Amino acid sequence: MSPDGKTNPRCWASVMTASRRDFSAMGLLNGGMRGARQSYRCRGEPLWWAAQPPRYGGRVSQATETTDSSGGVTGRLRSTGEVARSFLSRIPFSLTVAIALVAAAIATGTITGPASTATQDAWAAGVHTTIDAGHWWSVLTALVIPWDPFQLVAGVLAALALLGIAERRMGTARVIVAFVVTGALGVAIGVALQWVGSLAGEWWSTETAADLTLDPLTAILGALITATAFMGSLWRRRFRVVTLAAILVFVLYDGDSSNAYRLIAILLGYPLGALLARDPSALSMRRSSHGETRTLVATIVAVTGIGPLVALINGSELTPFAYISYLFADEAVDPATVLAKCGGPTTTTSEECLRQLTLLSGQGFGMLLLSFLPLVLLLLAAWGLARGRRFAMWLAIGVNAAVILFARTALDVTDTLDGDDDLSDWSLFDLGELLVWILAAAVLPLLVIIILIVSRRHFTLTSPRPAYVRFVAVTVTSFLVLATSYYVFGLATLGDYAPPANPLDLLLDTFKRFIPPHFLGATDPIIVTTHDIAEIAYQAVGPIFWVIFIVSAVLLMRATESRVRAPEYARIRAILKRGGGGTLGFMATWPGNVYWFSADGEAAVAYRVINGIALTMSDPLCTDDRAEQTIHEFAAFCDKNSWVPVFYSVHPQYLPIFEAMGWQHMSVGEETLVPTVDLELTGKPWQKVRQALNRGIKEGLTTVWTRWDDLPRPTIAAINAISEEWVAEKELPEMGFTLGGMEELKDPDVALMLALGPDGRIQAVTSWLPSYRDGKVVGWTIDFMRRTDDSMNGVMEFLIASAALHMKETGAEVLSLSGAPLATKPLPPGEAAPEPTVMTRLSEFLAKTLEPAYGFSSLFRFKAKFNPTYETISMAYPDALALPAIGIAVGRAYLPEVSPKEAIALVKTLTK
């Protein structure tokens, strides 16, 4: 997210070059920031760096400035409409293309209907015009003339949105180059391949050689993919994956010339983008977070699922995936005539009768609904995958496996309905192409299955066991009831089936009622009922079952632990707000924890069990007067379950309790605390922080204190992009447990402090966890910290100091910079270091070993800039013999899922 808008003209540049004495006069050193706000004005504006909370009238939106009631300038997020207007003002070429499409449509008449023959012969691209007629210019004119009104609307929207994005990312000059090069070459190469293929007798090329194409989307998509080389990792990956997947679906399920040209254009965009950006690394795909991986995999599953719909709508016969369209061909099939001719006991099942019966058995409202079953199930799976559901992963694997399993019988349906000549009449070239088609029909779902299996560690969310039991019971029972009902009713009307059927035929047909007709439509037995009421059952039992299945699956995937455990979460938050858990207590609300509650409900402990170790998070959640009782009761609870209790990240006031119990404890880090009641950023100790503040003021930075639910979509997208950039830069696995990520930002009680550049773009993000006393927030603990690569140097110091002064004004007592793992607080002057022990040596060894990978020491030094007080956080445990198991449990808590690639990267980093 590089700031590329116009700089807001302000007088900071001249004001903030003043000397230390000048700032003292303005109150920055002696009188504090409030004095500066009241004592100096520039062009009538107060000198105010916007640390206080904005006064909103409603939802916040993405970055301008407003003046609050005290006269201060505070950051405000711009609305989506403001962002859109700003965007449109900076895409001149894209607007020109949109206008050109409208003008071309008016000039050629395609604004009211499809292109005329004269328009096609003069301006469209294809073998007959571009090569046979020598219209070389058609590879360019085809890019700016829409084929019909529908393509005009699609082209204008794509020019304004997709081409506009490309222009904003790489500039007007480069987008013109990309538009012309990828569009013209995509069409030219596609036409040339069709021409060569038709001369060689290749089936697809021969069938499409007569096609003529007018398609602005070819150049627009080519330019978009070219521009991904100028994007950050998040949007580069999203645009590439979604665009390529969508185009492949249209190529495989539709197969017309324009889709082939689009595919060639976007493939050309990859190397062209790297060339224009002068960055070969733009061709590589960098790692993504768990959430982003889920989104991408879900998108792939959803996009591949719409293929049958594409084939049905377009009625294509050009690809091996288009078999569904044959069942719904524009061919009148009269049931009475077919049954009279093919359904009698003395008739033979000729190829034509088989074809007619297959068409008849696949028609009707029920069969139409079943034909869309793979699409609906894959869209359902995509919805679940985006939420990390393990059931959705297995559902997507099952549907794609069914597509592969039925590929052979689906080909039989296609062959039966198409009425092709016998294979013995085919040439060797035709047979080879048929083999390629059969393999292609299985390769796409196989690739999706492989993607799902490889990324399975990202889909770990399961439903409670009762939800699974309910799902299985409902679906199995409904299947048995519907199948039995159909079979029994079929036996009662067996004489009304044609061709004549026996009970075994009816039993096999019963199972076929639940399967899409293009999978088994041409498989024996093919029987059709002539009974009116039986026809209703024939059409209805399959769709009814799958509606029940889909509703049950949605309920299953919605039955998350959070929904089931909502009363527990409410109790935990109530205890926290009374004053339990300390500065790290809010981490107890994070996913992955389970809860123990005291008998009276006044105390709780958040923990997770890993290999028999009950690992707690933070202090016990209770008031100070009952901490000892809570610890004893929880230890007894763990002993009853044969777990080893380990209190992790507890503060010093609890250590005497553990010592009295005979437990041992060791330091696991230092928490850095900044009292905010009388905070003044004065004196030499605060010099580095003041420098960051001064620089932020000079560069026009503002801040916004807000919540996730109040953010508009552009701001959410920007935060996602910042986080993904951070993840992509690190080949190392993401840590969890006491370190929150994007999901933890979305809690309504968590606050966000954003640093905004003068153009309104987010430069840095921090999140703050509340700590309470008697229902009131008395402190905030930092959790999430991300910044853009090109943000101001010192932006984090600027942002944290801004947050500290905001907390002072709102009455908070303490700001916690959270724990620094494996850190040791500096000794007071004149105090000697204690004798090292086995555990302190181990901690020092771990700190040095992990430093290259996670920079704990660097982070600790960063926090020292804020002149904090230090409080040791410890781990208390009952038995030293359990330390190896405890160490493994802690490691798995912080790194629950590590891929082989991440493990290798971690080892390489640690051994440098």
DSSP 747-779: -TT-EEEEEE-TTS-EEEEEEEEEEEETTEEEE
CA dihedral 783, 789, 790, 793 (to 10 degrees): 50
User: Of 271-285, 558-572, 592-606, which range is least confident?
Assistant: 558-572
pLDDT at 719 over 50: yes
303-316 pLDDT tens trace: 877 776 676 666 55
When comparing pLDDT for 42 and 662, which is higher? 662
**Per-residue b or e along 394-408, where b marks 16 or more CB atoms closer than 10 Å to that residue's CB:** ebbbebbebbeebbe
Q: Please report, for residues 90, 149, 353, the alpha-carbon distance to residue 115 in angstroms, rounded to integers and kept in the order given.
A: 32, 10, 40
Taking the model in full, what pTM does it have? 0.63
SS3 of 911, please?
coil
For residue 133, the number of C-alpha atoms closer than 13 Å in the C-beta half-sphere is 17
Can you read off the two tokens belonging to residue 450?
């492989």
Q: pLDDT band for position 42 (50/70/90)? A: very low
Can you read off the two tokens belonging to residue 868?
């904090």
**What is the C-alpha separation between 910 and 822, in angstroms, rounded?**
16
Determine, yes or no, domain membership for 288.
no
**What is the C-alpha separation between 199 and 813, in angstroms, rounded?**
82
Q: Are 233 and 318 found together in one domain?
A: no
Question: Mean pLDDT over residues 29-36, rounded?
Answer: 31
φ and ψ at residue 467, rounded to 5 degrees: -65, -40
pLDDT at 186 over 80: yes
Q: Are 330 and 200 found together in one domain?
A: no
pLDDT at 321 over 80: no
Q: Are 403 and 495 found together in one domain?
A: yes
The predicted structure's pLDDT at residue 74: 46
What DSSP assignment string belongs to 574-590?
A: HHHHHT-SGGGGGGGGS
Asked if residue 545 lies in contact with residue 370, where contact means CB atoms within 8 angstroms, the answer is no
Q: pLDDT band for position 75 (50/70/90)? A: low
The predicted structure's pLDDT at residue 464: 82
Q: pLDDT band for position 678 (50/70/90)? A: confident
393-436 pLDDT tens trace: 999 999 988 888 776 665 555 555 454 444 444 444 455 555 55
**What is the C-alpha separation between 789 and 791, in angstroms, rounded?**
6
Q: Please report, for residues 295, 312, 820, 844, the alpha-carbon distance to residue 836 in angstroms, rounded to integers and kept in the order given.
A: 49, 75, 20, 10
CA dihedral 719, 721, 723, 728 (to 10 degrees): 180
The predicted structure's pLDDT at residue 412: 55
% the chain with pLDDT above 70: 71
SS3 of 458, please?
helix
Q: Are 550 and 599 found together in one domain?
A: no
Under DSSP, the state recorded for 825 is: P
867-899 pLDDT tens trace: 888 888 888 998 888 888 888 888 777 776 655
pLDDT at 174 over 90: yes
Name every residue whose Cβ is closer than 8 Å to that of residue 819 and which is 6 or more positions away in sequence. 584, 649, 668, 669, 670, 671, 738, 873
Q: What percent of the residues of the chain are helix, what percent strand, and what percent coil, each to the nearest 5? A: 60, 10, 30
The predicted structure's pLDDT at residue 41: 28
The predicted structure's pLDDT at residue 439: 60
The predicted structure's pLDDT at residue 896: 66
Determine, yes or no, domain membership for 881.
no
Q: Are 65 and 99 found together in one domain?
A: no
Asked if residue 867 lies in contact with residue 685, where contact means CB atoms within 8 angstroms, the answer is yes
What DSSP assignment string belongs to 669-737?
A: EEEEEEE-TT----SGGGHHHHHHHHHHHHTT-EEEEE-GGG--HHHHHHHHHHHHHHHHT--SPPP-T
Q: Are 323 and 444 found together in one domain?
A: yes
Q: What is the CATH number of the domain that holds 642?
A: 3.40.630
540-549 pLDDT tens trace: 999 999 999 9
Question: Mean pLDDT over residues 540-569, rounded?
Answer: 84
Question: Mean pLDDT over residues 520-530, rounded?
Answer: 70
**What is the C-alpha separation between 781 and 603, in angstroms, rounded?**
22
Can you tell me which residue has the tokens 């004004």?
Answer: 809
The predicted structure's pLDDT at residue 351: 63
Q: pLDDT band for position 667 (50/70/90)? A: confident
φ and ψ at residue 690, rounded to 5 degrees: -65, -35
**What is the C-alpha separation between 240 and 228, in angstroms, rounded?**
7
Asked if omega into 675 is within 30° of 0 (cis), the reply is: no
Determine, yes or no, domain membership for 41.
yes
pLDDT at 472 over 80: yes
Beta pairing, strands 776-787 & 613-616 = unpaired
Q: pLDDT band for position 47 (50/70/90)? A: very low
- Name residue 27's amino acid: G
**What is the C-alpha separation between 458 and 451, in angstroms, rounded?**
11
- Residue where a domain stops, chosen among 642, 662, 682: 662
Determine, yes or no, domain membership for 902.
no
Q: Which has the closest alpha carbon to 222: 180, 188, 153, 269?
A: 269
Q: Are 431 and 499 found together in one domain?
A: yes
Determine, yes or no, domain membership for 885.
no
**What is the C-alpha separation between 277 and 255, in angstroms, rounded?**
32
% the chain with pLDDT above 90: 27
Determine, yes or no, domain membership for 782.
yes
Under DSSP, the state recorded for 877 is: E
Q: Are 363 and 492 found together in one domain?
A: yes
User: Of 41-50, 215-224, 871-880, 888-897, which range is least confident?
Assistant: 41-50
The predicted structure's pLDDT at residue 23: 30
Under DSSP, the state recorded for 665 is: E
When comparing pLDDT for 829 and 744, which is higher? 744
Beta pairing, strands 73-77 & 528-529 = unpaired
**What is the C-alpha separation between 436 and 422, in angstroms, rounded?**
18
Taking residue 251's Cβ as centre, other Cβ atoms within 10 Å add up to: 17
Please tell me the total number of residues recorded for the chain in this structure.
912
- Residue where a domain stops, chosen among 558, 587, 614: 558
Q: pLDDT band for position 347 (50/70/90)? A: very low
- Burial status of residue 427 (CB atoms within 10 A of its CB: 0-12, 13-18, 19 or more): exposed
80-133 pLDDT tens trace: 666 677 777 788 999 999 999 999 999 999 999 888 888 888 999 999 999 988
- Name residue 153's amino acid: V
Q: pLDDT band for position 494 (50/70/90)? A: confident
Determine, yes or no, domain membership for 40.
yes
- Residue where a domain stops, chosen among 641, 662, 683: 662
Question: Mean pLDDT over residues 311-330, rounded?
Answer: 54
Can you read off the two tokens belonging to residue 74?
């505070």
Q: What is the CATH number of the domain that holds 1?
A: 3.40.630.30
How many angstroms separate the first and last alpha carbons of the chain? 31
The predicted structure's pLDDT at residue 79: 65
Cα torsion angle, 166, 172, 173, 176, sign: positive
The predicted structure's pLDDT at residue 499: 75
Asked if residue 664 lies in contact with residue 876, where contact means CB atoms within 8 angstroms, the answer is yes
**What is the C-alpha separation between 369 and 278, in angstroms, rounded?**
51
Q: What is the CATH number of the domain that holds 122?
A: 1.20.1540.10
Question: Mean pLDDT over residues 453-477, rounded?
Answer: 88
What DSSP assignment string belongs to 35-48?
A: HHHHH-EETTEE--
Can you tell me which residue has the tokens 């996913």?
Answer: 591
Determine, yes or no, domain membership for 358.
yes
The predicted structure's pLDDT at residue 436: 57
Q: Are 745 and 759 found together in one domain?
A: yes
φ and ψ at residue 663, rounded to 5 degrees: -80, 165
Q: Are 83 and 116 found together in one domain?
A: no
769-799 pLDDT tens trace: 999 988 899 999 998 888 888 888 889 999 9
Task: Give the structural domain span for 273.
Answer: 90-281
- Name residue 566's amino acid: A
Question: Mean pLDDT over residues 252-258, rounded?
Answer: 80
Asked if omega into 499 is within 30° of 0 (cis), the reply is: yes
Strands (DSSP E) along 412-556, which ranges? 497-498, 528-529
Can you read off the two tokens belonging to residue 769?
């966890």
62-72 pLDDT tens trace: 333 433 333 33
Taking residue 178's Cβ as centre, other Cβ atoms within 10 Å add up to: 29
pLDDT at 56 over 70: no
H and E: helices and strands count for the chain: 39, 17
When comparing pLDDT for 509 and 290, which is higher? 509
Cα torsion angle, 169, 172, 178, 184, sign: positive
Helices 407-418 and 428-454 meet at what angle, rounded to 10? 140
- R_g (Cα) of the chain, nearest Å: 34
Can you read off the two tokens belonging to residue 663?
């437990």
The predicted structure's pLDDT at residue 144: 92
Q: Are 737 and 651 found together in one domain?
A: no
Can you tell me which residue has the tokens 């109040």?
Answer: 710
The predicted structure's pLDDT at residue 560: 67
pLDDT at 580 over 90: no
Question: Mean pLDDT over residues 733-751, rounded?
Answer: 78
For residue 636, the number of C-alpha atoms closer than 13 Å in the C-beta half-sphere is 9
Query: Which of 852-855's residues contact partners 24+ apart within 8 Å by CB, and which partners?
Result: 852/909, 852/910, 852/912, 853/732, 853/906, 853/909, 853/910, 854/732, 854/735
- Name residue 405's amino acid: L
338: enclosing H helix or E strand: helix 335-342
Q: How many structural domains compose the chain?
A: 4
Q: Are 199 and 76 found together in one domain?
A: no
